[in-house]
Amino acid sequence: MKTYTKYLWFNTQSERAAVNITGECEDILEESGIREGMMLVSAMHITAGVWVNDNEPGILQDAMDKLEELAPYGPDYRHHRTGEDNGHAHLKNMLIHHQVILPITDGRLDLGPWQTVFYMEFDGMRRKRVVVKVMGE
């Protein structure tokens, strides 16, 4: 088995964003030369996540709206007693999760017809990264 690692860097223009990274993941897979295996895509920050879903504006907005409903910006989270103001972003990360594992078959990401890989930002406008690790043969 071999592995290949690459980092993607982000600095979104807004505090919350859904960034389609499917193309970057496909490029990294091609660079790796791996034909069968798995790809781990993991946000390396506790206020961001990685999500697989439909690249359709309605579902993206519905998801952001629901996350805001479940973990709204502004309430006095205990985390804010440390001097931070991003407790909501930590909870959104918990709901979306920080990583996904994607199957690789015959040198391609084995995604469903509508599946898209997103970097999900909940406390943006600063530099953050995602690690992409390809493992297989």
Per DSSP, helices labelled H in 36-136 are 57-70, 87-96
101: tokens are 């594992």
Which one has a higher pLDDT value, 75 or 118?
Answer: 118
Query: Quick one: what percent of the chain has pLDDT higher than 70?
Result: 100
Determine the Cα–Cα distance for residues 107 and 58; give it in Å rounded to an integer: 31
Determine the Cα–Cα distance for residues 37 and 87; give it in Å rounded to an integer: 36
Query: Do residues 71 and 92 touch, judged by C-beta distance below 8 A?
Result: yes
What does the pLDDT read at residue 90? 98
pTM for the whole structure: 0.96
What does the pLDDT read at residue 36? 98
What does the pLDDT read at residue 92? 98
What does the pLDDT read at residue 101? 98
What does the pLDDT read at residue 12? 98
For residue 137, the SS3 value is: coil
pLDDT in tens, 91-135: 999 999 999 999 999 999 999 999 999 999 999 999 999 999 999
What does the pLDDT read at residue 63? 98
Residue 56 in domain: yes
Residue 111 burial by Cβ neighbours in a 10 Å radius (0-12, 13-18, 19+): middle
pLDDT in tens, 17-31: 999 999 999 999 999
Which CATH number goes with the domain that contains 51? 2.60.120.460
Residue 18 in domain: yes
Residue 125: domain span: 2-72+85-136
Query: Quick one: what percent of the chain has pLDDT higher than 90?
Result: 99
Average pLDDT, the chain: 98
By C-alpha distance, which of 116, 104, 125 is closest to 45?
125
Residue 98 in domain: yes
Residue 78 in domain: no
Residue 77 in domain: no
Query: Do residues 19 and 119 touch, judged by C-beta distance below 8 A?
Result: yes
Confidence bin at 48 (pLDDT 50/70/90) = very high
Confidence bin at 69 (pLDDT 50/70/90) = very high
Residue 80 in domain: no
Residue 79 in domain: no
Residue 62 in domain: yes
Domain count, the chain: 1
117 bridge partner residues:
52
